[in-house]
Amino acid sequence: MLVLLPPSETKADGGDGAPLDLDALSLPELTPLRRKLADALVELAADVPASLAALKLSQRQSGEVARNAELFSAPTMPALRRYTGVLYDALDVDGMDRADRDRAGRRLAVASALFGVVRADDPIPAYRLSGATTLPGLGSLRGLWRPVLEPVLAELDEPVVDLRSGPYAALARIPDAITVRVVTAGTEDTGGRRATVSHHNKAHKGRLAAALTRVRDEPETPSDVRDAAVAAGLACEQVAERELELVVG
């Protein structure tokens, strides 16, 4: 099973890995577009005002532009350690034992505006690029990634649990994926659909991803995902053939 996580805008600094080698990343079919986007970010970073405008950053965030300028020279670290924030705090890679980390390496991946998808252990530098960005001279990332990324994900020989947020789900549709919504109990509308949670959304998805790394037997079905969630103390219901809800409150 592949659990596809959303990335985070925030990234950990530093790393002790060699500089970015695009040919060393998983899913080599994505390398040409990865290189095109990385080259474009580095070139754009030479013009700080243009970078801030394109990336929708404030002047106080100019350090993010400096990160992009150093994409090919900065040190790398495994993707699961590079991304930070609420979801990754809940995932707690540092708190995993060796067996859990090994399973995380096999089962977890992260959606990326720059790299398309990276596996947990893929070595990447810090960077700034959001899924909804339109790059000067190239166009929207959605328009760039969809024709490239969708066929690659469609050929994966394993079920996918899609935990991506909207801008990253838009980069590639995965029709057969198992989807998960974080919802609030007691908020059903007239059609019986619960309201989506915003505040607890990332933390609960991080806990679910952690639960799916702790299961020794490979999860294969929506019911396997539900059972892993329940075993981890999460309230989880299967509401459609390939749709689950984590219920908060």
The one-letter amino acid at 233? G
User: Which pair of tokens denotes residue 28?
Assistant: 């080599």
Q: Exposed e or buried b for every residue in 198-233, given b needs 16+ CB within 10 A?
A: eebbbbbbbbbbbbbbebeeebeebebbbebbeeee
**Sequential DSSP letters for the chain:** -EEEE---S-B----SBPSP-GGGSS-GGGHHHHHHHHHHHHHHHTSHHHHHHHHT--GGGHHHHHHHHTTTTS-BEEHHHHB-SHHHHHH-GGG--HHHHHHHHHHEEEEETTTEEEETT-EE------TT-EETTTEEHHHHHHHHHHHHHHT-SS-EEE---HHHHTT---TTPEEEEEEETT---TTSPPPBPSTTHHHHHHHHHHHHHH-SSPP-SHHHHHHHHHHTT--EEEEETTEEEEEE-
Q: Given a cut of 90, is residue 240 above it in pLDDT?
A: yes
Domain with 44, as residue range(s), is 2-248
Residue 154 is predicted with a pLDDT of 94
pLDDT tens digits for range 218-230: 999 999 999 999 9
In this prediction, residues 125-136 reach a mean pLDDT of: 96
Which band of pLDDT confidence, cut at 50, 70 and 90, is reported for residue 185? confident
- The residue with tokens 């990324």 is 149
The residues, ordered by sequence, that sit 6+ positions from 151 with a Cβ below 8 Å of its Cβ are none
Q: How many domains does the chain have?
A: 1
Q: Given a cut of 70, is residue 191 above it in pLDDT?
A: no
Residue 200 is predicted with a pLDDT of 80
Strands 160-162, 139-140: pairing kind = unpaired
pLDDT tens digits for range 77-108: 999 999 999 999 999 999 999 999 999 999 99
How many residues in total does the chain contain? 249
Q: Given a cut of 80, is residue 196 above it in pLDDT?
A: no
Residue 249 is predicted with a pLDDT of 78
User: Which pair of tokens denotes residue 194?
Assistant: 């619960």
Strands 243-248, 178-184: pairing kind = parallel
Q: Given a cut of 80, is residue 195 above it in pLDDT?
A: no
Q: Using alpha carbons, list the distances in angstroms from residue 19 to 62, 67, 127, 144, 219.
A: 22, 13, 13, 25, 34
Q: Given a cut of 90, is residue 117 above it in pLDDT?
A: yes
Asked if 63 and 106 touch (Cβ cutoff 8 Å), the reply is no
